[in-house]
Amino acid sequence: MAWDFETEPEFQEQLDWMDAFVREEVEPLDLAFREPGAAYDRRNPVYKKITDPMKAEVRRRGLWACHLGPELGGPGYGQVKLALMNEILGRSTWAPNVFGCQAPDSGNAEILAHYGTPEQKKKYLQPLLDGDIVSSFSMTEPQAGADPKEFKCRATRDGDQWVISGEKYFSSHADLASFLIVMAITNPDVPVHQGASMLLVPRDTPGLKFLRMAGLGGEPLGHGHHPHLRYENCRVPAENLLGGEGQAFTIAQTRLGGGRIHHAMRTVAMVKRSLAMMCERALSRRTQGELLAQKQMVQQYVADSFIQLEQFRLLVVYTAWLIDKGRKKEARTYIAAVKVGMAEVLHDVVRRALHVHGALGCSNEMPLAGLWMAVPVMGIADGPTEVHKVTVAKAVLSQHKASPGLWPTEFLPDRVAAARARFAEYLDHEAGNL
């Protein structure tokens, strides 16, 4: 039997160090520098002065950019190890940046590593891996969301240049990025999965216009780091094509599959944090003469949350294990499943934790309202929940067959008759002895 739920002692030591380092050194950054997007701002000298020594220590421990292989400066950890690491990193907005695995840069680095030319890797990938710059993934559009069949952004070839025209929405951190990876239609006369391409666009390219800065719920209107962009005859060199023409779908799946499982890993951390706050509150607050922890309804909240968390965590780790084993076809179904599950379990546990805290939970003096805002984000980022449910359903249904006859195969009258026919001689013998 090869079942194993233990972590080797050497890696557990690394996890223990990470836990203490994130708690004592990194989490205070979330409290001291609370401006949205601050963790991605490589231009701020104060942030650089504080985080450079932290990043150096992470590198010294061999924990920098662990999602990448040794040939790209990472240790080549598999997804199971990354899952255990992200249970810690997901507690902090700053932690992924300090450990060189922040989204969207981690996914962008992966596709540059897979599809970039040597020149593209030198210009864009290496600074990204070094943590000197950040990037943006410019895909969704105002009228289409993430549905490429409705995309209107076009890129046309003009000599030795590509000319990009169209709009993109929610291109996260484009204002802080050194470059963007843009998905555009390069051939509208073929199906979209054959006619879409990816292009590398430097942030300072003429024609790249910022129409509006969108933020997340709770951020002031007009502020945030998820802009609405317009590409007005935005010209980039022909060599800025990423991969080949028409390969955007293949490239996007390389990127998004990893992003989905990593989002799920970090969601485990958020759910754990929410459950911890719920338990602390239950053991501290008294009402009607006894602790909240003694109320059966609160006990049900705690029990249900613990069960949901552990079920989801095991599903995430199993999905990571499938990826590590190279079982790609199975893994696709499970990646979709954890993508669905992460929004649902986060919703349920944060809601309970917030409720147990009462008015304090609803306030801006606890992190629970911020975690609550992460729920709809998790249900939409990297594809809406409904799309992934369809993926799971199709995969599950493909493993089953329709009933060959009028009645279901579990129809008891038919099954009982078949069983009685099989054991007829014994049944007749029993009847004769009565």
**pTM for this structure?**
0.90
pLDDT of residue 20: 98
Classify 250-397 by CATH class. mainly alpha
In a structure prediction context, what are the per-residue pLDDT tens digits for the chain, which is 434 residues long? 677 888 999 999 999 999 999 999 999 999 999 998 899 999 999 999 999 999 999 999 999 988 887 777 678 888 999 999 999 999 999 999 999 999 889 889 888 988 999 999 999 999 998 889 999 999 999 999 888 899 999 999 999 999 999 999 999 999 999 999 999 999 999 999 999 999 999 999 999 999 999 988 878 888 899 999 999 999 999 999 999 999 998 888 776 666 788 889 999 999 999 999 999 999 999 999 999 999 999 999 999 999 999 999 999 999 999 999 999 889 999 999 999 999 999 999 999 999 999 999 999 999 999 999 999 999 988 889 999 999 999 999 999 999 999 999 999 999 999 999 999 988 877 666 65
How many residues make up the chain in this entry?
A: 434
pLDDT of residue 433: 63
Q: Which CATH number does the domain 135-242 belong to among 3.40.50.970, 2.40.110.10, 3.30.230.10, 2.60.40.60?
A: 2.40.110.10
Homologous superfamily of the 9-116 domain (CATH): Acyl-CoA dehydrogenase/oxidase, N-terminal domain (1.10.540.10)
pLDDT tens per residue across span 247-293: 998 888 776 666 788 889 999 999 999 999 999 999 999 999 999 99
pLDDT of residue 431: 61
Domain ranges of the chain: 9-116, 135-242, 250-397, 405-434
CB 186 within 8 A of CB 161: no
CA angle 59–62–64, rounded 5-degree value = 55
**Burial class (CB within 10 angstroms; exposed 0-12, middle 13-18, buried 19+) of 197:** buried
Q: Which residue has the tokens 């079920």?
A: 311
pLDDT of residue 432: 62
CA dihedral angle for residue 292, residue 297, residue 299, residue 300, rounded to 10 degrees: -160
pLDDT tens per residue across span 327-373: 988 999 999 999 999 999 999 999 999 999 999 999 999 999 999 99
pLDDT of residue 429: 72
3-state secondary structure of 283: helix
Helices and strands (H, E) in the chain, number of each type: 17, 10
| Separation between Cα atoms, residue 44 and residue 97, nearest integer Å | 14
What's the gap between Cα 198 and its chain centre? 21
